[in-house]
Structure 1
């Protein structure tokens, strides 16, 4: 069984998720957007064993703490290859949007559609869901009926922005159609804001 600890971090209040195997305390860190010291402290307090850092996409507000966490734990960082250019622009983006300094992390692994990420006896499956960014992914636990949606889909009918030069509204609609085929009772854990379920968000999206 998976336990999920949610922390909205940084000026953009991006949700960082610690996804924990309840048996072993092995942990995936999803979207550590900022405040690395806070994340390290929580991992220590909860006595967790981090295995890997995952980004649902390469936007700066989801990866600003990655470099420091790599130093703290010597664990790999993974993102979809099509968002590598966004990781590369982290320093410039942090300066432009937040007037902050950030260090670009090293990408150790590339996520691809269908990859399986193991956490103890549990697993998350990678679903490539482009649109907001070309390399956006969702992470799905069929066993626990959980879907981490990044900035693809939020609660209350909201979806990710597609007004960036590299975004694609048509791809976003295809990605939404893909996840709306999943069990309607699956809980979604978005990149910002509160949780919801697929059934509710699909109904709101089709209004």
Structure 2
């Protein structure tokens, strides 16, 4: 999938055993890119960037479960001092292999982010303002990235097409997730396009109307 709205383009590639949606947002004018949730196959991500003729300038994590971070060690290794964005409440999840579930698949992933964000904080990526929306529930530090000028919401495993993220893993909380989606995401413009970690794109309006978990 590729969505083009000058000067930014949004690309999606499915990575790893969980086929996690990794989003690559590219600014063609500056030839720079930001990767959201490098689920696996860091080499494939870098090959994609090379093919597109762009340079990786940052990684943004919606949360720290293994299937969203397995490609990160490689990206950090080949990109010195790579900015890695993560919500402040998710730091110990990224650090702890039990919390990030990497031990569940026979791995030991323990990493640190170097750009810690807070709820409502506005960061600049690729020359555009992006709002960090803390939506706890799937994990305690889950965060969605909202490109208001483009109407894009990169939601990770918070909100899916007609579904929501699981809450039975460590730090999950169903009531917190439902409350946060209703109070923080469903107030966005209904035409906002939602790009999730595991389902096709949807919109805020469509989920308000038809998501069975939130009716």
Counterpart in 2 of 1:195?
A: 201
Q: What's the CA shift for 1:109?
A: 1.7
Q: What's the CA shift for 1:102?
A: 5.2
- 1:154 paired with 2:154, answer no
Q: What's the CA shift for 1:22?
A: 2.9
- 1:93 paired with 2:101, answer yes
The one of 80, 89, 108 equivalent to 1:82 is 89
The one of 63, 70, 77 equivalent to 1:57 is 63
After alignment, is 126-135 or 197-206 more displaced? 197-206
- 1:144 paired with 2:150, answer yes
* Aligned residues of 1:66 and 1:77 also touching (Cα < 8 A): no
CA displacement, residues 4-47 of structure 1 (integer Å, 9 cap, x when unaligned): 11011011111111111232122111100100110010011111
After alignment, is 13-22 or 131-140 more displaced? 13-22
Higher helix share: 1
Q: What's the CA shift for 1:181?
A: 0.6
Counterpart in 2 of 1:12?
A: 18
* Aligned residues of 2:102 and 2:109 also touching (Cα < 8 A): no
* Aligned residues of 1:145 and 1:186 also touching (Cα < 8 A): yes
Q: How many angstroms apart in 2 are the aligned matches of 1:120 and 1:85?
A: 28
- 1:128 paired with 2:131, answer no
The one of 34, 38, 43 equivalent to 2:49 is 43
Q: How many angstroms apart in 2 are the aligned matches of 1:119 and 1:63?
A: 20
Q: How many angstroms apart in 1 are the aligned matches of 2:48 and 2:24?
A: 9
The Cα RMSD (Å) is 1.7
Which 5+ residue runs of structure 1 have no aligned equivalent? none
Q: Higher relative contact order by CA 8 Å / sep ≥ 6: 1 or 2?
A: 1
TM-score for both structures, normalised by structure 2:
0.88
